[in-house]
Each structure stands twice: as structure tokens, then as C-alpha cells.
């Protein structure tokens, strides 16, 4: 369990936020709601600490990150226990999608940050800069604010802090008020690994705390809904603070008639239900070519019906965990009810589970179409609507009929055809005969098209966004005055005109 040093004071003044275990409904502890003035004080502390953290360089920062990598693996059980307690997810969801990601990310950014942020010598064809040294360098922005989601408190909340720290920034993480304990535990871990005071801090609180953070920092990284993302961007515009946004998705799966149906069905069941369906890149809607539709639906339904759901008591105990965020349970149920009212059929599940905790039964819907919210709006729960299509072109048209464009997948034994189709899908990432695992390849950029986000995480761009580019031009050998300098003369002006024609006047004419 994460230690929450500030909780007693929060309980005394009544400004705290209770943290509940969604699988049991029991309150774990209380964390404080930081005021705007308290956030401002955190940022001031971060600004004071950041220059020294930047000055120690990539090698020393990498040592701290590698110690943190070992700390995560050494304390995996404790971290998993904390994640499971505040999210209600399964042991395996915490282990695979959170612990393994964080451990890999610490090592990845320690190794790759010096390469991605190294000075870049440049060349130019312009004769005015011949013989001069041209360089692009990357400097940390200063203080980065991260506003994290509740579905992956380690991977998608704290995970964004790792490259920001590797780049030489100080970071303040505002975790979701629903799942703050993992972030507090990671702050404890970083202190144990030698991170200097003030370089990483956690600002617990609600939306007002997040708004105050946006007002003070030099860059804001937000992961969450498109609706809230717009508010974040509007707030950041007041101070011209740059933002990175990973927002909502309604990720389609296209199953062609020649697909390996057993693999596709296993993937559909897993990638729609893992983490209780509360994954930004979850399979949220499926389009299946008519010749294999019935067979595919039967396979998926059998697999989903067999899933075990409940409170995780350790490895292998359950397959699907709880709904983490209380209002999400109502959204899931509303989408299912809307579909049924408009003619859809529930083949398994279709209701909130009885008993303590917040659970929604793993659900398969058929006879669905785009008049239903389950096919057009982000459900973010353990539901899987499956729609029959005539051919690949209809599937593609429907897949692209969405304001979202985060992730998608195409399933076919003809991988050349699958890749060609994938290139036509309007999404930031598309897998062929797979799903979600692209997120584990930290070399690949991960970001959304359309209303699914702005910018990317991972890859070179995933750390460069936390920097400012600076251009350097160094003149080593030169005369007292260049030809183009004052005073102007008819002769020199004429020579410059002739030079312009010589260099650029030979373009191909139509």
C-alpha cells in the first residue's frame, strides 16, 4: 500500500478526497486536495530544483532512472497491490500492462534520451551560410505538468513523467483523484533511488488542482477524454502553454473472410475485455465480413461467456476486474440499453453484476449499427459490439466513420492486403493480425488522429515534446564585412541578382 503522508491533515480539515477500492466499495485512505496556492508553491520548488537536475547531464540522470527500473522490479508485488486496490483491475492487468511497461520505460529512456536529444549538425544549400557551423539543440522546457488518467495509474499517468525527467525537466504529476496512490508510491520510489528533492512531485486533487497546474507549468501532458482534453487546451491557451494530448478512441477491428478466426476471436475477447475494457486502445467495435460472421460471433461469445469476473485475489484468480470510475458504470449501461432499444441483441452479459463493488458483466452485442452509441461513442467498459459487413470496403468506410482515430486492427491471412487496408484506416496506429502490442514498442510513436489527440508519446517525438529547440549558428572565420552588409551599391546588388538567377533560375518550366 502506498504511504500517504498528507492524509491525516486532509482528514482534519475536510478537504481530502477518499480513495475507494472499486472492487469492494471500501475506503482505503484519504488524500489532500491541493489549492491553487499550494500548486504554485510546488511549481516554485520544481523551478528551483530543475537547473541542477538538467546540469548533471544524461549519464547521471540515466543512473537514477536505471536504479528506478530495478526498484520497480524489486517492489513489483507492492506496486501491483497498490494498483489493484485503487483500480479494481486484475493482478495480471497490473503486472503486464503496468509493471512491465514501467520497468521497460525507465531503461528505454535512460538509454535513448542522449540519442534523441543529441545536438544535430545541419547543412544548408544557401551560400550565405557556407563555412558556418549550424546546430539544432534540444533544451528542457523547465517544469512539466502531467495530468494522468485513472485506468492506468502507472503506465499512462506516471509513465509520461519518465521521458520528461530524462530530458532534464522537473515534473509535477496530478493523478486522477480516483487513483492517486500509485503516483505517491512512485514518488517514494524515486526518492529512494536518489532523485533530488523537488524534481518530481505529486499534486493530489480534483479538476481545480489540474487547472491550477496548467496555469503554472511550461508544458502540460494530458491523457483522458476528448471532452476534457478540449478544456485543457483552452486553459493552456491563456498562457500559451504547449500541450500534448492523448484523448478518446473508438477503436475498430476489421475481420476479413480469410482471417485466422481462432486467433481473431481470441484477440477480440482479450483486447476488448482486458483491464475491464478500460483501455484507450481497446477493441471497441468489430466489423466482420458476412461469410465468416456467424462463426466468428459464436467463437467470441463462447470465449467471453467463459470469463471469470470479480475481485482479484492474486495471480490467476479472475480474468476481468471492476469498473474503476463510478460514473463509467452508468455510461456502459446506457450504451447497452440504447443498443437494445434500437434492435441489438445481447448474446452474453448486458448488465451490472450483482453484489459488492462496481462490475459490469462482459458483454457481446450483435445486430448493431451506427445509430447506436455503442458503435459511435467511447464506451470504456467490457462490451463488444459486432457488426456484419458485405466486404472490406464497407468495413473500411464504417471504421473511418468516426470522429476518433487512435488505434485500429485488420485481420487477414493476406498480410500484403491487410497492410494496404491498414494504410487507409484513419488512425494513428493500425495493427495487422494483432492489437495493442504496438504500445509496448517504445520506439514507435503513439498518438491519435482527428479528435483522438495532439502529438505523440514514445519514439523521438515522445521526448522532444518536453524540450525547446534552439538553433545555433557559429561563424568561425570571416572578414570584417560581408558583401550584403551596408552600404548598398549598384554593383553588389547586380551581382546578387545574377547569383540568384544562377542558383535558382534553372527550375523546370511547364
Catalytic residues: 246, 280
Cell digits of residue 346 = 445481447
Residues 432 and 412: beta-carbon distance below 8 Å: yes
CA distance 13 to 11: 6
| SS3 assignment, position 139 | strand
Beta-strand relationship, 133-140 and 467-474: antiparallel
Identify the helix (H) or strand (E) that includes residue 389.
strand 383-389
Across-strand partners of 457?
A: 446
- Backbone φ and ψ of 147, nearest 5°: -110, 110
Residue-level length of the chain: 510
Angle between helices 181-192 and 57-74 in degrees, nearest 10: 120
Cα Rg of the chain, angstroms: 26
Look at residues 433, 19, 14, 378 and name the one whose alpha carbon lies nearest to residue 225: 378
CA distance 70 to 60: 16
CA distance 1 to 82: 5
| SS3 assignment, position 156 | helix
- Backbone φ and ψ of 467, nearest 5°: -130, 165
Amino acid at each position: 500500500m502506498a504511504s500517504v503522508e498528507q492524509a491525516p491533515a486532509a482528514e482534519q480539515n475536510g478537504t481530502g478526497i477518499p480513495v475507494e477500492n472499486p472492487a469492494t466499495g471500501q475506503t482505503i485512505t484519504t488524500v489532500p486536495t491541493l489549492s491553487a496556492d499550494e500548486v504554485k508553491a510546488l511549481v516554485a520548488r520544481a523551478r528551483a530544483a530543475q537547473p541542477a537536475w538538467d546540469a548533471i547531464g544524461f549519464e547521471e540522470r540515466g543512473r537514477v532512472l536505471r536504479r528506478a527500473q530495478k526498484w520497480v522490479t524489486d517492489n513489483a508485488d507492492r506496486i501491483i497491490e497498490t494498483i489493484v486496490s485503487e483500480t479494481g483491475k486484475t493482478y495480471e492487468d497490473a503486472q503486464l500492462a503496468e509493471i512491465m511497461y514501467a520497468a521497460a520505460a525507465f531503461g528505454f529512456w535512460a538509454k535513448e534520451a542522449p540519442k534523441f536529444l543529441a545536438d544535430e549538425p545541419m547543412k544548408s544549400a544557401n551560400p550565405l551560410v557556407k563555412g558556418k557551423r549550424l546546430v539544432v539543440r534540444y533544451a528542457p522546457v523547465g517544469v512539466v505538468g502531467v495530468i494522468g488518467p485513472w485506468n492506468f495509474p502507472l503506465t499512462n499517468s506516471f509513465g509520461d513523467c519518465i521521458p520528461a525527467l530524462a530530458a532534464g525537466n522537473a515534473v509535477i504529476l496530478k493523478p486522477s483523484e480516483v487513483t492517486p496512490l500509485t503516483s505517491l508510491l512512485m514518488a517514494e520510489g524515486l526518492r529512494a533511488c536518489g532523485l533530488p528533492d523537488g524534481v518530481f512531485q505529486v499534486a493530489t486533487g480534483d479538476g481545480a488542482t489540474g487547472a491550477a497546474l496548467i496555469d503554472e507549468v511550461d508544458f502540460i501532458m494530458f491523457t483522458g477524454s476528448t471532452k476534457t482534453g478540449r478544456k485543457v487546451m483552452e486553459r493552456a491557451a491563456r498562457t500559451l502553454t504547449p500541450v500534448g494530448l492523448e484523448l478518446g478512441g473508438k477503436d475498430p477491428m476489421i475481420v476479413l473472410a480469410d482471417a485466422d478466426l481462432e486467433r481473431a476471436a481470441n484477440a477480440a475477447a482479450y483486447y476488448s475485455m482486458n483491464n475491464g475494457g478500460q483501455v484507450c486502445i481497446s477493441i471497441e467495435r468489430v466489423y466482420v465480413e458476412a461469410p465468416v460472421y456467424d462463426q466468428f460471433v459464436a467463437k467470441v461469445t463462447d470465449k467471453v461467456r467463459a470469463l471469470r469476473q470479480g475481485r482479484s485475489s492474486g495471480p490467476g484468480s479472475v480474468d476481468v476486474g471492476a469498473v474503476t470510475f463510478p460514473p463509467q458504470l452508468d455510461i456502459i449501461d446506457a450504451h447497452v440499453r440504447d443498443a437494445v432499444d434500437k434492435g441489438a441483441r445481447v448474446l452474453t452479459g448486458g448488465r451490472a453484476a450483482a453484489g459488492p463493488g462496481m462490475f459490469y458483466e462482459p458483454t457481446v452485442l450483435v445486430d448493431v449499427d451506427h445509430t447506436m452509441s455503442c458503435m459511435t461513442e467511447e464506451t470504456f467498459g467490457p462490451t463488444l459490439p459486432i457488426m456484419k459487413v458485405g466486404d472490406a470496403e464497407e468495413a473500411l468506410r464504417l471504421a473511418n466513420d468516426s470522429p476518433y482515430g487512435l488505434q485500429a486492427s485488420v485481420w487477414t491471412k493476406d498480410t500484403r492486403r491487410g497492410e494496404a487496408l491498414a494504410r487507409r484506416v484513419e488512425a494513428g496506429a493500425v495493427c495487422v493480425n494483432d492489437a495493442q502490442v504496438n504500445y509496448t514498442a517504445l520506439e514507435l510513436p503513439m498518438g491519435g488522429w482527428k479528435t483522438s489527440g495532439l502529438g505523440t508519446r514514445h519514439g523521438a517525438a515522445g521526448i522532444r515534446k518536453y524540450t525547446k529547440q534552439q538553433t545555433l549558428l557559429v561563424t568561425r572565420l570571416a572578414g570584417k564585412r560581408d558583401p550584403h552588409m551596408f552600404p548598398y551599391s549598384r554593383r553588389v546588388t547586380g551581382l546578387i541578382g545574377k547569383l540568384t538567377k544562377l542558383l535558382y533560375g534553372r527550375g523546370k518550366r511547364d
